[in-house]
Structure 1
Amino acid sequence: MQFIDKTKVIVKAGDGGHGKSAFRREKFVPKGGPAGGDGGRGGDIVFRVDQNMNTLLDFRYHRKFKAENGENGDIKNQYGKNAPPCIVKVPPGTTVRDEETGELLADLTEVGQEAVIAKGGRGGRGNAKFANAANRAPTFAEFGEPGESRNLVLELKLLADVGLVGYPSVGKSSLVAACSAARPEIADYHFTTITPVLGVVKTDYEKSFVMADIPGLIEGAADGVGLGHDFLRHVERTKLILHIVDASGIEGRDPVDDFYKINKELKKYSEKIARRTQILVANKIDLPEAAENLPRLEALAAKEGLKFFAISAAAHTGLKELISYVGTWLDNYVEEPEATEEETVYDEDAARDAEKVTVTRNDAGDFIVSGKALEKLVAMTNFNNDEAVRRFQYIWRIKGIDEKLKERGIREGQTVHIGEMEFEWRE
């Protein structure tokens, strides 16, 4: 199966249903009051973790997701029906970011976990909601609020307990194959593994852990050379790192130098990864050339304060001791609280920012009036209704937008843009 661990998608939440402008028309009630109902809320875009998924491959063929719009309001104060959420299934370990801002929207790790990524628009209010002492029979209603739309970047980070790091061809794939039921492709050439492979390793009849055979590192990986970031992304979530070196050195490299070079790449990419507990594992000890390097590797482990194991994945030598130790270490593992990026939440500062109005100019010399609340008001106003236009003009004056435009030097007949609306300014 092809492994896809990073992709881009577009999501659009549903628009709110339009409010209704209507009046009671019943027998013996010749002049009934306003009775237009509100529109229903548009559907949210909700990401949900699905245990049956382990890749982002599906998103290569389905990149756009759109929720349904809310139903329009109706006569007799009937509210439109809210639209159901659009559920997007993702594998465990998926992070969701806004492509434009880079903001982390959700970090989805637990099966069944959900996150609202784009909110549906609220339904427009019917004319019954605008009745007051000054205006007992309003004729206007609101349009539905547009739903949020986002361009997203999805990344999948493997949820493995143990991650294997090391240069290509040191025997990581062979170790996973020897310890678990996973069957990665194995050959004596570089970069056989170009996608991560998960293997479930049993420590006894009722306990097990997940080991990730991840593509081999090379120098410059932290800067994106080779498989670079694609590799390092998957080491982030592992609890323990098995650092595999080729004790035989038959590839013409020094295993001690390899150890330091790879740790340099890990530290360059992330200090958090560099602090992970490592076990130094010398592989291929069945080869005669390994005898010369084993004492040097034991000294290296002692110097760095690391647990050391000498194994042969091919000959199944030393695997039982290694697996037993790793299983015991994981049983005693306590997760350290780490500072993580917060998911986006509503706060008062954001609400105040939404109320702010700014005036800028574009290359054509037109005036651009920006402000989230104002742009939402424009989208929800029916400019074909005189009462709705008067309400908009009233809010326009309250926000002091005329004064802001005059400060920027606007003149009679110049063009003003607000969201999708464009008009000529008149004194």
Structure 2
Amino acid sequence: MKKIILSAVLVVICIAGISCKRPLAVSVSASAEQSSAIDGVLKDFTKETGIKVVVNSLQGTAPQTISNISGALNSQSSPDFVIFDLVWVPSFASASLLEPLDKYIQSSKFDTSVFFPNVFSSVDTREGVIIALPLTMDAGVVFYRKDAAEAYGLTNLPSSYKEISDYSRNVSKKIKSAGRGALLNNAYYAFQGSITEQTVCNFIEAAVSNGGGISVQNGKFVINTPQNKKALEILSELIKSKVSSTKNYELVKDEYIRAFFQQGGAFAVRGWASDISFHNSSVSLLKGKTAVYDVPSVIKGKSSPVAGGLHMAVAAKSVSKDNASRLALYLASKKVQKKLALSGGITPSRADVYSDAEIISMRPEYAVLPALFSKAVLRPVDPRYPKASEIMQKYISAALYGAYLPADALIKCQAELDQI
């Protein structure tokens, strides 16, 4: 099986006149687009404050990268400032690798109520102490071919997995009738099914929408429930019945599944809200031809998108905590968040940016995002989650491509989770 390669970015603050060592990279799952946008505002920070910021990058699998992060934060040459995926915040916080930010936030009178509370209060706050701040906000969405829906006279977009199946078959008939003039090659609903974190997210969205999900009970991760079994059966059936493509297993990286959709391989694709700028960019083959709606649900009307995004923190062993916290608050400011959205296509972590007049004018596609972000659900906020995810990825993917029946996959998955 292929393993997802995550990009990583290390941010080290160096005050003029003070020598800083360059530890390993620690910022995980920043796409090339995100990294470029972040680099731009870091340069602005240096211009405005005189504080130099050195950015280093590396690539590796998720286990390799989280190991590098921990090693760097534990070392005597620890970085000052780190940016990484929200699911890793609990792991670093539980190991006391992150500096509490409360005193810096209070002294600057920064208002944290601007963040989406469903994420900030659970992820960035530990036992009443703020240990990180959200840099971007993200959640699962479905992109569909608006042009094809209009051309084929299709209305009332599907909101449940059953409706997805019916809709796909209807679109397929339209494609065949159109012949060479068809706007699509296939009517698939595409989602990632390989051994990757997004496959777990797809499963959680289906499971939570059926009254299930991944919980932690008495210190144990619980996945083997009737509600989760039904959700996994439904996802597996999408592929078995050819509503979804068997290429789901090959589309390991986000950019692969985006390309599959862009090239007409699917009518709709489960992606991330942060992809919205790409699909509407000048390099997109589908600029102006796509639109966004909620991820499907098992129980109609219970759409449950999984939250994502990049978070930032000050390293506990930083020798420049005041300046590192200054950078955190700078990146969280409305001015910078707005610039990230306008120039970099970043989906901001601040809810108030989405109501800004210039954002509404320049990024009209963002209008649907606040409501979606407000109902986003979290993966288990637990320091052991990265390890649990590795196990779940393996068995969920195996059930999707038919190596195990969904019921058997969950039994085997539960047995391994119980050993964590």
TM superposition score category, shorter chain reference: under 0.3
Structure of higher CA gyration radius:
1
Hey, which of these two has a bigger chunk of strand by percent? 1
State the TM-score, normalized to the length of structure 1: 0.21
State the TM-score, normalized to the length of structure 2: 0.21
